[in-house]
């Protein structure tokens, strides 16, 4: 099962969520879960934001080798679950890649539990903010990904 996280630049939110899910899936024995991330802006080869790298390092996770990449049609064809950060991102995905929209959710759809719910809020981009903005975003990511792990366990 492949989970793809999508944001704009693929340097903050989606790589943090992907790295955290990789860690959680490994701890839970979900070896069949493959995790990736991509961005809608098509930025290629940029490292993760310094605050994201530092924050995840403090959490025992490593984003130093992450390099941004743009999303491709193959990403959508091969992903079982696609998780975006904003409604605008879901709209762009729907326009560019209309097939498979039933398996696309906002990250915060998982904030209340393992069953994704509609009407979820968006996750703001901390990219230009202070470390506190990254901490806040990662706190939300952690909670949502923890529930996503439960969702994936039931989907297996």
125 is catalytic: yes
Q: How far apart are CA 98 and CA 114, in angstroms?
A: 25
Residue with tokens 């630049």: 9
Select which of 8, 12, 13, 24 is catalytic. 13
- To which residue do tokens 């929209």 refer? 101
Question: CA-CA distance, 145 to 142, in Å (whole number)?
Answer: 5
Phi, psi (rounded to 5 degrees) for 20: -65, -40
**Catalytic, out of 8, 36, 75, 125:** 125
Active site residue 124: no
User: Which one is catalytic: 7, 24, 104, 144?
Assistant: 7
- Determine whether 8 is an active site residue: no
Catalytic machinery residues: 7, 13, 125
């Amino acid at each position: 099962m492949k989970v793809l996280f999508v944001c704009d630049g693929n340097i903050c939110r989606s790589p943090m969520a992907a790295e955290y899910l990789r860690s959680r899936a490994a701890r839970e024995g979900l070896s069949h879960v493959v995790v990736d991330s991509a961005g809608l802006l098509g930025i290629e080869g940029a490292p993760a934001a310094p605050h994201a790298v530092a924050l995840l390092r403090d959490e025992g996770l490593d984003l130093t080798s992450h390099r941004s990449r743009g999303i491709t049609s193959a990403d959508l064809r091969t992903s079982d679950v696609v998780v975006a950060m904003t409604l605008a991102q879901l709209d762009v995905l729907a326009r560019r890649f209309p097939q498979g929209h039933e398996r696309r959710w906002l990250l915060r759809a998982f904030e209340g539990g393992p069953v994704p719910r509609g009407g979820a809020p968006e996750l703001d981009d901390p990219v230009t903010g202070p470390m506190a903005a990254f901490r806040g975003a990662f706190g939300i990511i952690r909670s949502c990904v923890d529930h996503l792990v439960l969702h994936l366990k039931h989907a297996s």
